[in-house]
Structure formats: C-alpha cells, structure tokens
A and B are shown apart, each in its own frame.
Chain A
Amino acid sequence: MQYSSTREAFINSLTELAGRNRKIVLVCADSAKVIRADGFADRFPERFIDVGIAEQNAVACASGMASCGLVPFVATYAGFITMRACEQVRTFAAYPNLNVKMVGANGGIGAGEREGVTHQFFEDLGILRTIPGVTIVVPADASQVGKAVEVIADIPGPAYIRIGSGRDPVVFDEDLPFELGKIRILKAYGEDVAVFVNGHAIPRALAAAEGLKALGIKAMVVEVHTLKPLDSEAIADVLKLTGAAVTVEDHNIIGGLGSAVAEVIAERAPVPLSRIGIEDRFPESGDAEQLMDAYGLSVDDIMDACRRAVGRKERRSS
C-alpha cells in the first residue's frame, strides 16, 4: 500500500487557493501543527488566525468573518469541531447559511489510531448530517482532498471535509477528478450486491469485491464521497440493479453512510442491507490497519456482510 498525507494535501490546496482568492482565511485552534499550516502562515500571515485551544471560539469567530464576506476554513481535529463546537457549527455557521468551511482531521478510528478514543472520531458525520444545510464530504485520499478543497471553496454555505492522520492510503490515480454530490462506480464485477463505501475504507471494499469474485459473487463497488447532498437517485438506481447492499465506512454504523443508504433503501428501493463500520462501541489505541481489522472493518467482515445480504435477497425471491 502506498501512503500520502490528506493533511498536507489540504493545506497545499488551500495555500494555492489563497494566492488567487484574497477572501480565504485559515482559522486554527492550536492546530497549525496538526494541519501543517506553516507554509500558509508564512505566506499569508494576516490571513492565518490561531485562536488557541478554543474550538468554540474558532467556529464562532469564523462565522463572524464569513458574515463579512470572507471564506474562513476552520481546521482541527474532527471531533473538536463537530462535538466541542457542535452548537457553534449549528447555530452560527449553518443556521445563517454562512460560508464557513470546516476541515476535520483524524476522521475515523483508522486515522485516530494510536491516539485512542479521545482522538478517534467516528461520530462526526452522523452529528453533522442532522444539521440542515451543511455539505459533507469524505474524500478517498490525499489527491481527492486537494480537489475537494477547491470545489468546496467555490460553493456557498457551510461545508465539512473529513481528512485523516497524515499517513493515509493512496486510493486513486492523482488525475481522477472530484465531482461534488455524485456517486462513483469504482468496480462493477456484476450486479449481485452493491458495496457503498467512502474514505480510507475503499481499499478494503475493493479487496473484498475481488475476493467475492473468486467465490462467484459479483459485486459493484460504489464510492459515496458526498454524504450531503446525498446522490439518492443514483443510489436508488444502483439498489434496483443489485437488489442487495452493504455499506462500509470508518464511522459508527449509526448516523453515517450506513444510515444514509438505509434511508434511501427504506424510502425508495427496499433491499436487504448489511452495515460494516464501528458497531456502536468505543475502540482503543492501535495500529490503523490492525484496529480496523479488530473493529469490524476487515476484508473478511466485508465479504461476510456481502454474502449475508445476497443470501437474504435470494431467500426473499424464492
């Protein structure tokens, strides 16, 4: 597996944008080191604001800036934005529909890894999904983060980009574009089961699909990098083709991709579903790959879930 840094990809993309757009501001909460902000701070000192270890202040302050026409990016650990400053996100960024962009590091247990539960954030997406009007994206890897930052800077309103640890699996070719709000079919071995996945869990889903092929189950792997606005129609179309679904995410199975797809299934295309993710429990410290294996995200777990979903489909139709 190759690795690159979603954190560096974010700051490089933002620094380049800031050179073209004088409204771009970076707001940190003693997180400059976390997101490798030195280059930005050196080049644009007047547009680098560090409010200290004070995430609520960071988000409310950014909202004040946005109300005056700036485009602030608040960047720190995912949970400190979405939990510590949750109400500021909801009431002062989202409710007035302000142009506050949020970048959350350590998204998922595989990104928080050795830090342990306090720095492993697997609830961020579920929390944000209940707040009206927040665009939510989970880019697959570093190059996708760089492109997502450009796209997000250009759309009006509050948005959240989930990034990782700084040692993040390379998933895609660097040239692959990022199209906000659209699902992407990554692999189509067939139409037995759809595997919806995002973020750094993608390589596991692809490996599972390949393993299933040898067992005679032909999966379709679908990336859902934009959780909001959700591409519900295209997801429903895939579900109608496959008749069975599995979701794979480094997030609680409650609230994130699994819930989002379950909602589409319940309302538009009823099919059997198995959710792979953190099963509503707290993880622990450990190596990223070992942790994800230990907490239900192993390739075998995904393959088993696919077999279960396909089995339920067949029982229904017999």
Chain B
Amino acid sequence: MMLSQTVKELEKTARQIRRDIITMIYQAGDGHPGPSLSCADLVTALYFAVMNVEPADPHWPRRDRLILSKGHACPAVYAALARKGYFDAAELPRLRSLGSILQGHPDMLKTPGIDFSSGSLGNGISAGLGMALAARISGLDYHTYVICGDGELQEGIVWEAAMAAKRYQVGNLTVLVDYNGVQSGGRIEEISGLEPLVPKWEAFGWHCQEIDGHDFTEILTAIAEAKAVPDRPSVIAARTVKGKGVSFIENNNAWHKRVPTREEWEQAMKELGAED
C-alpha cells in the first residue's frame, strides 16, 4: 500500500486531477467539466489518502471500493486512477472514443480500478449496500464508499437504499454527497426540493456530518469519524462548488456539459497551476 499523502500533497494532486479533467474533455471533445471539478477533491482524498487499494491488482478481494454514483463525473475518477497507476495517463484523451477503455460513463469491465458501472443516477447507494453486505457475508473488512450527486438524491431508489442500509446496520458503508446545489437543469431547490438535506438523512437513521468538500482536513477527519461508527451507515454532506477550481466554470451551469475552446483550456491550465 502506498503511503497517504499530506494535505499539501493532496492539494497538489487535486490540481493535477483538475488539469487532467479539463485537458481530457478538451482533447476528447466531450464530457462534463462542472460535475467532475465539483467532486475532484473528494475523489482525490479517497484515492490518495483513504482507500486501501492495490493498483497492480485492481480485483484484489480485500480492497476498499468506490462507486461513483454520479457517473457523468467520471473524468475525475479516470484521472485519479491514471495518476494512481491503474493505467497510463496517455489513455485519458481517448475518453468517450470508439474502442477506448474510458467509456462516457464508468464501465467496470473496461476500466481497471472501476469497482462498479454507473451513470444511471440514484443507483450507487443500493449497489454500495450490496458491497457492504457482501463484506459482512464473506468475512472481509473492506469499506465501501459511494459518491453521490445531490441532484440524484431525487431518485426514489436512494431512499429505498437508505432505509435498508439502516436496517442492516452497515457501518462499512460511507456515502459522500457532492453537495453543490445544482443539477443539470438548474438549481435543485427550484426543480424539486431536497432541503433540509442533513435532517432527512438523520431521520433515516444514518450517521451524518456536513463539511466543506474542498477542505482536505475536513474531508479526512469526516471520513475517519464515519469509519469509526460500527453499526450505522454514514453520510457526509460535502458542500462543494460546481466547477471548483476554474473561475469561469465555477457556479456556471452552462459548464454542466461543455467543451472548452483552446483559449478557455489555456486559461484553465494557468489557473490550475500548470507549473506544478
């Protein structure tokens, strides 16, 4: 197992991940920049400071699992997997191209390191519950993480899974909500109300925390606390900014799905510290 990165190193890695996100979408000519940048710090923290994984052995049975329930943000995970050594970063520009290992949404059969296919929203927590139960049934001590968008919490299956996870007391399941307040069509509260979010999860019997989803100290502390709860699933509502890290993408929902021009790409690289 590789040593965990310090907060400073994580910040640097996250800038690399963000550059990879923008560059692969620019080169591939397709993808979702806003949603990917939003969860980039959560993904970075998990792969570079939390999860017990073996990039050389992606199917290692004892590994911690991650499901990216908001599968359209996969450029963030693809970048992390490449930088972690699951595959060559030269694959990244092949995103969404015919024959690529990097599908438009995560495919567990095609991409080394993807633990579960995703892209149809709302399903990740259910699958994560299955993984958490499988750990118990198989006598393994791995932890399952699920990154959800806040918008996808509108799906009914999320709450089906929330009830069952409480009933089965899966302390080995942690859900991180990428809580940026915006979905494809606009502001969540204007489309179908999600609030009050944290009390909803509390009412479903989960261990709840609310943090700044771009602050590595808060992310790592919250995950450690979640893991320490033995008999309840945990949710971490991580407040994020959609498009975080690139000024003209932040909070601009036109970038939910959009490809940068050459000038925009150059500007983004400058802001993301290409000199790192």
Q: Is the CB of A68 within 8 A of B138?
A: yes
**Known A51-B160, A54-B157, A57-B157: A64·B116 in contact at CB below 8 Å:** yes
Q: Is the CB of A61 within 8 A of B117?
A: no
Q: Is the CB of A68 within 8 A of B160?
A: no
Q: Is the CB of A68 within 8 A of B135?
A: yes
Q: Is the CB of A61 within 8 A of B61?
A: no
**Known A56-B160, A96-B109: A69·B61 in contact at CB below 8 Å:** yes
**Interfacial residues of chain B within 113-154, with CB under 8 A of chain A in the complex:** 115-117, 119-120, 123, 126-138
Q: Which residues of A sit under 8 angstroms from B168, Cβ to Cβ? A: 49
**Chain B 154-184 near chain A by CB (<8 Å), digits 1 or 0:** 0011001101100110000000000000000
Q: How far is the CB of B23 from chain A (nearest CB, A)?
A: 28
Q: How far is the CB of A148 from chain B (nearest CB, A)?
A: 24
Q: Is the CB of B127 within 8 A of A68?
A: no
Q: Which residues of B sit under 8 angstroms from A12, Cβ to Cβ? A: none
Does A269 lie at the interface of the complex (its beta carbon under 8 Å from any beta carbon of B)?
no
Does A19 lie at the interface of the complex (its beta carbon under 8 Å from any beta carbon of B)?
no
Q: Which residues of A sit under 8 angstroms from B123, Cβ to Cβ? A: 56, 60, 88, 91-92
Main secondary structure of the interface of B (DSSP, over half): helix
Does B228 lie at the interface of the complex (its beta carbon under 8 Å from any beta carbon of A)?
no
Does A254 lie at the interface of the complex (its beta carbon under 8 Å from any beta carbon of B)?
no
Residue in B closest to A85 when the chains form the complex, CB atoms: B157
**Known A52-B164, A96-B117: A64·B137 in contact at CB below 8 Å:** no
Contact among B119, B130, B138, B157 with A62 in the assembled complex (CB-CB below 8 Å): B130
**Interfacial residues of chain A within 28-76, with CB under 8 A of chain B in the complex:** 46-47, 49, 51-52, 54, 56-57, 60-70, 72
Q: Which residues of B sit under 8 angstroms from A63, Cβ to Cβ? A: 116, 127, 130
Q: Which residues of A sit under 8 angstroms from B7, Cβ to Cβ? A: none
Q: Is the CB of B157 within 8 A of A67?
A: no
Q: Which residues of B sit under 8 angstroms from A60, Cβ to Cβ? A: 123, 126-127, 130, 157, 161
Does A172 lie at the interface of the complex (its beta carbon under 8 Å from any beta carbon of B)?
no
Q: Is the CB of B108 within 8 A of A64?
A: no
Q: Which residues of B sit under 8 angstroms from A68, Cβ to Cβ? A: 61, 65, 130-131, 134-135, 138
Interface residues contributed by chain B, number (CB under 8 Å)? 33
Q: Is the CB of A25 within 8 A of B116?
A: no
Q: Which residues of A sit under 8 angstroms from B129, Cβ to Cβ? A: 57, 61, 64
Q: Which residues of B sit under 8 angstroms from A67, Cβ to Cβ? A: 108, 115-116, 127, 130-131, 134
**Interfacial residues of chain A within 91-131, with CB under 8 A of chain B in the complex:** 91-92, 95-97
Q: How far is the CB of A104 from chain B (nearest CB, A)?
A: 19
Q: Is the CB of A64 within 8 A of B157?
A: no
CA distance A65 to B128 in the complex (A): 8
Does A300 lie at the interface of the complex (its beta carbon under 8 Å from any beta carbon of B)?
no
**Known A60-B126, A96-B116: A65·B160 in contact at CB below 8 Å:** no
Q: Is the CB of B133 within 8 A of A65?
A: yes
**Interfacial residues of chain A within 110-164, with CB under 8 A of chain B in the complex:** none
Q: Which residues of A sit under 8 angstroms from B163, Cβ to Cβ? A: 52, 54
Q: Which residues of B sit under 8 angstroms from A92, Cβ to Cβ? A: 116-117, 120, 123, 127
Contact among A46, A56, A70, A72 with B126 in the assembled complex (CB-CB below 8 Å): A56
Residue in B closest to A57 when the chains form the complex, CB atoms: B160
CA distance A188 to B126 in the complex (A): 50
Q: Which residues of A sit under 8 angstroms from B167, Cβ to Cβ? A: 52
CA distance A46 to B134 in the complex (A): 10
Residue in B closest to A47 when the chains form the complex, CB atoms: B137
Q: Which residues of A sit under 8 angstroms from B157, Cβ to Cβ? A: 54, 56-57, 60, 88
CA distance A60 to B115 in the complex (A): 14
Q: Is the CB of B160 within 8 A of A64?
A: no
**Known A67-B116, A69-B61, A95-B117: A57·B134 in contact at CB below 8 Å:** no
Contact among B67, B133, B135, B164 with A54 in the assembled complex (CB-CB below 8 Å): B164
Q: How far is the CB of B242 from chain A (nearest CB, A)?
A: 25
CA distance A51 to B133 in the complex (A): 12
Q: Which residues of B sit under 8 angstroms from A91, Cβ to Cβ? A: 117, 119-120, 123
Residue in A closest to B105 when the chains form the complex, CB atoms: A91
A sample of 25 inter-chain contacts (CB < 8 A) reads A47-B137, A52-B160, A54-B163, A56-B123, A56-B160, A57-B157, A57-B160, A57-B164, A60-B123, A61-B127, A61-B130, A65-B133, A67-B127, A68-B61, A69-B61, A69-B134, A70-B134, A70-B138, A88-B126, A91-B119, A92-B116, A95-B107, A96-B107, A96-B117, A97-B109
> Which residues of B are interface residues toward A (Cβ below 8 A)?
61, 65, 67, 107-109, 115-117, 119-120, 123, 126-138, 156-157, 160-161, 163-164, 167-168
Not counting A61-B130, A68-B138, a sample of 11 additional A-B residue pairs whose C-beta atoms are within 8 angstroms of each other reads A52-B167, A56-B156, A60-B157, A61-B161, A64-B127, A64-B132, A64-B133, A68-B65, A68-B134, A68-B135, A96-B117
